[in-house]
């Protein structure tokens, strides 16, 4: 797969995840949050294994792979989703959004330290510009940052756990198909989330009886498309271009989530949101290496043209 195709696929995943934010908002408003999250992720895991069955890709992890699979499940599913849902209930949207916006930069730093990935000045500039863009979009309608709270610390733990999961996925995908890894991570993570839900939300299972047909259709979109297919594809891209290269596209998730909120939840979009989009697009172009690759290609073509003359 060419780099241009990978970038288009990742933008598509970010669009899917952005719309999914509105879907999740509807779901947690109707059901017990941790319980519906556990059921959603378990449904997604089932979908992943059905797809892998027809692709003839299912196998048990080898002994040395189990540690990475379990580590990915706890960081990507259990810790990330638990701290995210609990933290957002205790802090402002502005604080939470800005902290989550640190994800690509933290991924880049850890990728350089742990995975020894190269980080050029171009790409570092892209991560910083993307962070500025996220700041613009989040602060646009929030009226500024709130006070630091325990919720902020939980959001920080949520994004750190996700960042570490990207590193684990990249490491594990050297030996194991990233799509199969995704299935095991979702399955194991959902079972542990269900245990947490039974502890923290005793009436959570009962709340599942209150959903209408339209709510369950939203659930199926979120579980089957955004979570199952979205994570399969995204983790495959980590396997292809690295944790840092894939993570820069997460900045687009912030903007697409705002578009989805405007279209489906009636939230207001402001000019500052589109200023943020400009920074995000610049950040993605630089951070992904796409702009750097384009400039080098133009220079190479110019050199070849001069040689012909």
CA distance 191 to 183: 13
Band of residue 144 on the pLDDT scale cut at 50, 70, 90: low
Judged by DSSP in three states, 178 sits in helix
Instruction: Give the mean model confidence (pLDDT) for residues 108-119.
Output: 72
Model's pTM, two decimal places? 0.79
Residue 183 and residue 65 in contact, taking contact as beta carbons nearer than 8 Å = no
Q: Would you state the pLDDT for residue 101?
A: 65
CA distance 88 to 42: 22
Percent of the residues in the chain that have a pLDDT greater than 90, as a whole number:
30
> What are the structure tokens assigned to 49, written together?
């294994």
For residue 257, the number of C-alpha atoms closer than 13 Å in the C-beta half-sphere is 19
CA distance 47 to 69: 18
> What are the structure tokens assigned to 113, written together?
């330290």
| Burial letters 61-88, b for 16+ CB under 10 A, else e | beeebeebbbbbbbbbbbbbbbbbbbbb
Residue 131 and residue 278 in contact, taking contact as beta carbons nearer than 8 Å = no
Residue with the larger pLDDT of the pair 249 and 255: 249
Q: Would you state the pLDDT for residue 197?
A: 92
Residue 155 and residue 88 in contact, taking contact as beta carbons nearer than 8 Å = yes
Band of residue 286 on the pLDDT scale cut at 50, 70, 90: confident
Q: What rounded mean pLDDT belongs to the chain?
A: 80
Q: Would you state the pLDDT for residue 82?
A: 84
Q: Would you state the pLDDT for residue 72?
A: 92
CA distance 205 to 213: 17
Q: Residue 159's closest CA among 249, 28, 222, 250?
A: 250
Q: Quick one: three-class SS letters along 124-169?
A: HHHHHHHHHHHHHHHHCCCCCCCCCCHHHHHHHHHHHHHHHHHHHH
CA distance 28 to 207: 11
Residue 225 has pLDDT above 80, yes or no: yes
Residue with the larger pLDDT of the pair 134 and 126: 126
Residue 259 has pLDDT above 70, yes or no: yes
CA distance 106 to 113: 11
pLDDT digit string (tens) for 32-63? 888 998 999 999 999 999 999 999 999 999 98
Residue 304 has pLDDT above 60, yes or no: no
Residue 216 has pLDDT above 90, yes or no: yes
> What are the structure tokens assigned to 77, written together?
């599913």
């Amino acid at each position: 797969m060419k780099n241009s195709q990978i970038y288009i696929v990742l933008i598509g995943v970010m669009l899917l995840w952005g719309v999914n934010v509105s879907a999740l908002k509807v779901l947690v408003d109707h059901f017990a949050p941790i319980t519906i999250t556990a059921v959603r992720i378990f449904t997604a895991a089932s979908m992943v294994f059905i797809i892998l069955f027809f692709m003839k890709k299912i196998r048990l992890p080898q002994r040395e792979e189990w540690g990475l699979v379990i580590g990915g499940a706890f960081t990507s599913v259990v810790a990330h989703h638990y701290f995210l849902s609990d933290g957002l209930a205790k802090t402002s949207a502005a604080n939470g959004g800005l902290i989550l916006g640190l994800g690509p930069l933290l991924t880049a730093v850890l990728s350089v330290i742990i995975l020894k990935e190269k980080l050029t000045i171009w790409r570092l500039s892209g991560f910083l510009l993307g962070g500025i863009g996220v700041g613009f979009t989040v602060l646009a309608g929030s009226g500024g940052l709130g006070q630091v709270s325990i919720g902020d610390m939980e959001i920080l733990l949520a994004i750190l756990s996700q960042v570490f999961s990207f590193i684990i996925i990249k490491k594990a995908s050297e030996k194991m198909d990233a799509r199969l890894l995704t299935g095991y991570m979702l399955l194991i993570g959902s079972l542990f989330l269900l245990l947490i839900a039974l502890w923290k939300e005793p009436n959570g299972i009962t709340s599942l009886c209150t959903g209408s047909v339209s709510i369950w259709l939203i659930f199926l979109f979120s579980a089957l498309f955004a979570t199952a297919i979205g994570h399969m594809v995204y983790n495959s891209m980590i396997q292809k271009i690295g944790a840092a290269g894939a993570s820069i596209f997460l900045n687009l998730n912030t903007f697409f989530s705002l578009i989805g909120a405007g279209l489906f939840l009636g939230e207001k979009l402001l000019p500052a949101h589109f200023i943020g989009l400009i920074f995000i697009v610049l950040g993605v172009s630089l951070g992904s290496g796409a702009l750097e690759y384009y400039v080098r290609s133009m220079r190479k073509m110019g050199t070849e043209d001069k040689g012909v003359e």
